[in-house]
Amino acid sequence: MSAEGEGGRGAGRFVFRALPQKTFSCLQDRDIADRLLKWSMQGRITAQAFCFDQQFKPYQKDEFLLAFFNDQSVNSGLKLLSSSGRWTTLGSKVTKIEATVVPCTQISMSFFDRLYSEGIVRETGTIAKCYDDYYDDILISDQLRKVLLLEDSDHYDLFSQLDREEFLFCLFKHFCIGGALCQFEDVVDPYLETTKAFYKDLVSVQKNPETKEIHTISTVFRVSAYVSINNFLYGILRAVIYVT
């Protein structure tokens, strides 16, 4: 999901408008669609765009996100995957949100080169195998999933805690783990290519006119939304929202 600013029109409540004409090429790509099907993720990922009428400031994140979920066009149009696997909409007033900023500083897929240097992935792109293990109900049969999931693995510290919080890493891990009936890859390239396509589509970058360095200008949030029913809070949504 995304929200894209239109510029400022003064103080007051944020107003949002759906942008149905906005498409995401990563979700239109046939090769990616085939991979998502193989990874048991097809039909379980969506992206929507909304514009808003004021300048966004990071310190306003709670106010902004609460206004976002309770805006009429968002509340009735934002797609929500139910526990039964069907797409629905919010349809209820959100009374509480919990939002954390997801770091989004990486601009290159060289971030994952360390997988090759430590033998997790061979020079050919083949993912090194390991003895079967489990993390919760997830089968771990290769070194890549071992690095991603098992804190006591020999190479877990290949990525620091800060690295693991990066949006780029989160996307990569999400695709590598896949859904409940995921058919895992033997080579790493499909994971890297899919991660790159989504990241490029979702995150905006800008070149500094003075230093000529490229940096990301998107703010990414991991959000949980709650509604109040009979004085009890119920979680109804977990999502990633980015503001450009």
pLDDT digits (tens, 9 = 90+) for 47-58: 999 999 888 888
For residues 114 and 98, membership in a common domain is answered with no
Bridge partners (DSSP) listed for residue 138: 135
147 and 119: one domain? yes
186 and 219 both lie in a single domain:
no
Cβ 103 vs Cβ 165: under 8 Å: yes
| Residue 75 sits in the same domain as residue 136 | no
Closest of 70, 14, 78, 15 to residue 49, by C-alpha: 78
CA distance 231 to 69: 19
Rg, the chain, Cα only: 19
Q: How many domains does the chain have?
A: 2
Question: Is the same domain home to 68 and 150?
Answer: no
Cα–Cα separations (whole angstroms), residue 184 to 40, 117, 190: 10, 22, 10
Residues 6+ apart with CB under 8 A from 193: 31
Same domain assignment for residues 87 and 168: no
In this structure, of 86-90, 113-117, 127-131, 173-177, the range with the lowest mean pLDDT score is 86-90
Split at pLDDT 50, 70, 90, the class of 226 is confident
Tell whether 14 and 66 lie within a shared domain.
yes
For the stretch 96-123, pLDDT in tens is 889 999 999 999 999 999 999 999 999 9
What is each CA distance from 136 to 133, 149, 234, in whole angstroms? 10, 10, 24
Q: Are residues 97 and 119 in the same domain?
A: no
Confidence band of 242 (pLDDT split at 50, 70, 90): low
Over residues 170-199, the pLDDT tens digits come to 999 999 999 989 999 999 999 999 999 999
Residues 113 and 145 in one domain: yes
Q: Supply the pTM of this predicted model.
A: 0.89
**Span 59-80, average pLDDT:** 90
Return the pLDDT at 9. 41
Shared-domain flag, residues 134 and 184: yes
Range of the domain at 81: 2-105+208-243
pLDDT score at 3: 46
218 and 171 share one domain? no
Amino acid at 42: Q
